[in-house]
Amino acid sequence: MLKVREYGESDGIIILFTPLQGKLPALVKGMRKPQSRLRSGTQQLCCSRFLLYQGRSWPRVIQCELITLYPRLRERAEFLPWALYLAALVEAALPPREPSPSLYFLLKESLRLLPLLDPEMLIRTFEAQTLKILGWEPCLDRCVLCRQPLPEGSRVSFVPSAGGVLCEGCLSTYTFQGAVYQVSPGSLKVWEQLEGSRWWRKLFRLQVGPNFRKELAQIIPAFLEYYLGEKIAARDLIYKIGGLSE
């Protein structure tokens, strides 16, 4: 479940994320009452099984069965902002009722693995994988305009509005909007690893230095937010608690 908000005196509106129906809102009557039988299964960042009734305005939750609350996420408070960011990213990226089994699996596995892995690199992986699933992955291995290979060893220009990396010649003639980031080829190679298959196995052994982390923390969110057309507010919370490099 991606989000919960209050509605009326004791009701609530929840945003569900399902593999076959995508993202959809649902009304939960009396969910904020202490004795509500729906209370445990309608918490944010839990996985539950729901029975819905289609009302006049939106579906209404009739029954729900809690599957997991992801207890390891709740054992340490610093994990919750990261998890909330993942949920907020899915909510922003996916249109209502658009099925995305791949994104559903990505979120479910990321919430499970977040307490077990390097959280910063899991966040970067989630962002890179989301871009790939949505068909927005950037051109990282050659100039996005002239398609020529990039020079070995030297820093390159990453331009979100162009869709990837630009060589010096194309950068000088490209009319762009937004920022240009000078990054090392090593950071781009790490990004390519993060968007690959079986990402969860790679994260258990992937070692990324502080300079690459700092560059990835700039360019991956910048690229993602450029194509989303909005900034994910939950990401600022992560920076405020010192959880990620800025």
Sheet holding 47-54, edge to edge: 3-7, 11-18, 22-28, 59-68, 47-54
- Report the predicted TM-score, pTM, of the whole model to 2 decimal places: 0.91
Contact 215, 123 (CB under 8 A): no
Please state, in angstroms and rounded to a whole number, the distance separating the CA atoms of residues 158 and 215: 11
Do residues 91 and 13 lie in contact, with contact meaning Cβ atoms separated by under 8 Å? no
pLDDT tens per residue across span 99-148: 999 999 999 999 999 999 999 999 999 999 999 999 999 999 999 999 99
Q: How do residues 53-68 score in pLDDT, each as one tens digit?
A: 987 788 999 999 999 9
Q: Please, which pLDDT band fits residue 157 given cuts at 50, 70 and 90?
A: very high
Pinpoint the residues of the chain covered by CATH 1.20.1440.120: 71-138+172-240
71-138+172-240 classified as CATH 1.20.1440.120: yes
Question: Distance between CA atoms of 135 and 193, rounded to whole angstroms?
Answer: 17
- Per CATH, the homologous superfamily of domain 3-68 is Nucleic acid-binding proteins (2.40.50.140)
